[in-house]
Structure 1
Amino acid sequence: MTTAPSPFPAPDSAPTDRGAVPAATSGRREFPFERRHFDFIAHMLYQLAGIALAPHKIEMVYSRLARRLRDLRLGDFDSYCALLESEEGANEVGFLVNALTTNLTSFFRESHHFDFLAKTAVPEMRARHAGESSHPRLRIWSAGCSSGQEPYTIAMVLASSFGPELRRWDAKILATDIDTHMVDTARRGVYPADLANSIPAPLRDRFTRRQREAGEPMVAMEEELKRLITFKPLNLLERWPMKGPFDAIFCRNVLIYFDRVGRTQVIGNFARLLEPGGCLFLGHSESLYGVSDRFRQTGPTIYRRL
């Protein structure tokens, strides 16, 4: 079959391998989905969010966006791509980013990070700031907070480590994500009850409460935690409004979606905003090797700003 010239050509800089995805796959799907559609969507996501869609993600892209075509009552991906390019497509662009952003997270995920935070980083923060004022300042950033389990875990660690003393501290956790729907979910702080099983029982008993919604068991985060956290949408490749400095930054399983230029830019900005000696926590498959010389590694995917 001969494929017609694409009305949505991907520029040469589009982060895809042109030989890795079939040119047309309309015979197997509800909507015709050709390589030109994937290239256009991949390039738009890269331009908007710095996320490089690998060619093996074609099935994921199709399945997540096919549902959107049904909701919009569009007959094909040509119409959807045209919508994204139109003036009326501004809101749809936001949906595209939300739909294609992976949001896998859990409470106390990669627990060695939180052991280090409780046993090493928090005592250092207390020693560093304790004599600064009657309300010492402490700032931690969860960059790529997804549905919120990470910042709530950080808040549990702070609250349990400081105890009643935390009331005299100006302690805040900033939690950001590019996916606005995830930010709304995180801000609400209510999850299916089984997701709380990864929270150690003493902390679960203290910082969560059971409730039911539509007959389903749920767990809600206590206000004590919510008061510590500010949730905001943020694209890490756009201008950052915050000035820092931060005592610690968690950015786990986010850098893997950026190309080398994007990773270098983000890590450089983290170094600028972190206190000297401040900690940067990355995901289990991420590394600063060849990306930055402004950090030294102090543990598995734990780095200190020089």
Structure 2
Amino acid sequence: MQPELFFVNTELLVPNLTSDQFDKIRALLYRLCGINLVPGKEGLVKTRLTKRLRVLGLKSFEGYLKHLEANPSEITTMVDFLTTNKTSFFREIHHFDYLRDSFLPPYKEKPCRIRFWSAGCSSGEEAYSVAILFKEEFSDLRRWDIRILATDISTRMLQKARDAVFEEDCLQEVPGLWRQKYFLCCQNKEPRRYGIRDDIKAMVRLARLNLMDEWPMRGPFDVIMCRNVMIYFDKPTQEKLVGRFWDLLAPGGLLLVGHSESLTTFPHKFHYAQPAVYVK
């Protein structure tokens, strides 16, 4: 009788992540990107980065750390794997209601300059939502000097923003009429996919930016949206970042943060307007 042979699928093996390796990864992320991976996130790091190790053909986290050392650009990919890039059009709609009802009316009285920054724009839905709002609110947009800057650390997310093709789930908050006006269905079969109109794309300038680096922009901006980004930072990093936003905003300018974020845990100069809305 022949012995029974068993084969192990090596793709299913999960490499071990030691506490020392976890500490090295979190120190690197914090130093380069400001991201604060607190103890207890070892399981998340192990699960998400194991997928990256398989892509690279690496069998251990020690090998991955050596790869990071030899390829500094890998840090951007690592951030992609460790952070959540969930977004959608008109997400957290109360911000857009505030812009429409409380902030934009004075700017509509006569042509003027408006500068808008989506900091941590992910795949672009936030910035394109702002462009659509401007299209709807200004009767002849060409008379206004409006610029929308959208930045992110992830080259992969920025490429998705440039492609500007979105699955139907991302458009759930877009009113039906606006969907007809500003989107074109480019894939009828499930899942349906929609491309955004070229004139909306043209309103948004996309650029890569690590918020921990020096900023090439001089401002001033009228609105800065940094939503669901600071949740990855510790309090000192949040305080420093909010101070830099203050410096770059025009008097009366807005800082919009995520609904789960707050500026109440550290000192700052902003005035509270409503949840997640602050005024310089």
TM-score, L = length of structure 2 = 0.91
Give the equivalent residue in structure 2 for 1:112: 94
Whole-Å separation in 1 of the counterparts to 2:54 and 2:209: 29
Contact 2:131–2:148 under 8 Å retained in 1: yes
Give the equivalent residue in structure 2 for 1:278: 253
Contact 1:245–1:274 under 8 Å retained in 2: yes
TM-superposed CA distance for 1:214, in Å, is 8.7
TM-superposed CA distance for 1:196, in Å, is 1.3
Instruction: Name which of 42, 48, 59 aligns with 1:75.
Output: 59
Contact 1:267–1:292 under 8 Å retained in 2: no
1:228 aligns with 2:212: no
Question: Which residue identity is paired with 1:55?
Answer: P
Deviation digits for residues 200-233 of structure 1, max 9, x if unmatched?
1121111111111897521111112111100111
Gaps of 5+ in 1: 1-27
CA RMSD of aligned residues (A): 1.8
Whole-Å separation in 1 of the counterparts to 2:18 and 2:178: 50
Contact 1:146–1:177 under 8 Å retained in 2: yes
Question: Which residue identity is paired with 2:99?
Answer: L
Question: Which residue identity is paired with 1:261?
Answer: P
Give the equivalent residue in structure 1 for 2:8: none
Question: Which residue identity is paired with 1:41?
Answer: I
- Partner-residue secondary structure (3-state), 1:56: coil
TM-superposed CA distance for 1:183, in Å, is 1.0
TM-score, L = length of structure 1 = 0.83
Q: Percent identical across equivalent pairs?
A: 41
Aligned positions, number: 269
Q: Are the structure 2 counterparts of residues 194 and 287 from structure 1 closer, same or farther at C-alpha, using a change threshold of 3 Å?
A: closer
Stretches of 4+ aligned residues off by more than 4 angstroms = 213-216
Q: Are the structure 2 counterparts of residues 215 and 30 from structure 1 closer, same or farther at C-alpha, using a change threshold of 3 Å?
A: same
Contact 1:140–1:246 under 8 Å retained in 2: yes
Give the equivalent residue in structure 2 for 1:203: 178
Give the equivalent residue in structure 1 for 2:119: 143
Give the equivalent residue in structure 2 for 1:125: 107
1:103 aligns with 2:78: no
TM-superposed CA distance for 1:293, in Å, is 3.2
Whole-Å separation in 1 of the counterparts to 2:42 and 2:182: 41
Whole-Å separation in 2 of the counterparts to 1:158 and 1:57: 40
